[in-house]
Structure 1
Amino acid sequence: MANQTPKPDDRSDNVEKLQSMIHHTIENMEDAEAAMVNSSPEDQQRIKDKNERRRESIDAFRSEIKDEAHRQQ
């Protein structure tokens, strides 16, 4: 096997990536809420449940952004 070395850990753009993920997650939530108008009650509940998980993900992303900001200082 060839000598394989791992790539160095580059965290320089993590905050930007996390902010982008937050933005896309919010867009997905808005799209899902718009789709609820024409959805069955079961689908509406699934959308509500998924959007709740998305909110939890957004909170986790924001927490990671704070951690990254402290690491960069």
Structure 2
Amino acid sequence: MAKPDNRADNVPHLQKAIQNTLKKKHATEEYLEEFGDEIPTSEMETLLEKNERRQAAVEKFRSEVKDEAHS
């Protein structure tokens, strides 16, 4: 039997996801600032691409928070 859809706590979960994603993004930025000249270009590109995906995820999370707030 499927559980009923309880959306009451979606906003706090989304906000936590935003915070966690931003922490990872900032940690990667700090890592690149400190060690960017010591790591291979391919690793730097991978990390930059990952941060772009993180930023896109944060924007989607924020959009979901707005949708949930209007519900």
Q: Same fold (TM over 0.5)?
A: yes
Aligned sequence identity (%)? 39
Secondary structure at the counterpart of residue 7 of structure 2: coil
Give the letter aligned to residue 22 of structure 1: I
* Greater radius of gyration (CA): 1
Q: Counterpart in 1 of 2:55?
A: 55
More moved, 21-30 vs 31-40: 31-40
How many Å apart are 1:40 and its aligned residue? Answer: 2.1
Larger relative contact order (Cα-Cα within 8 Å, sequence gap ≥ 6): 2
Q: Counterpart in 1 of 2:28?
A: 32
**Count of aligned positions:** 67
Question: Once superposed, what is the RMSD of the aligned Cα atoms?
Answer: 1.0
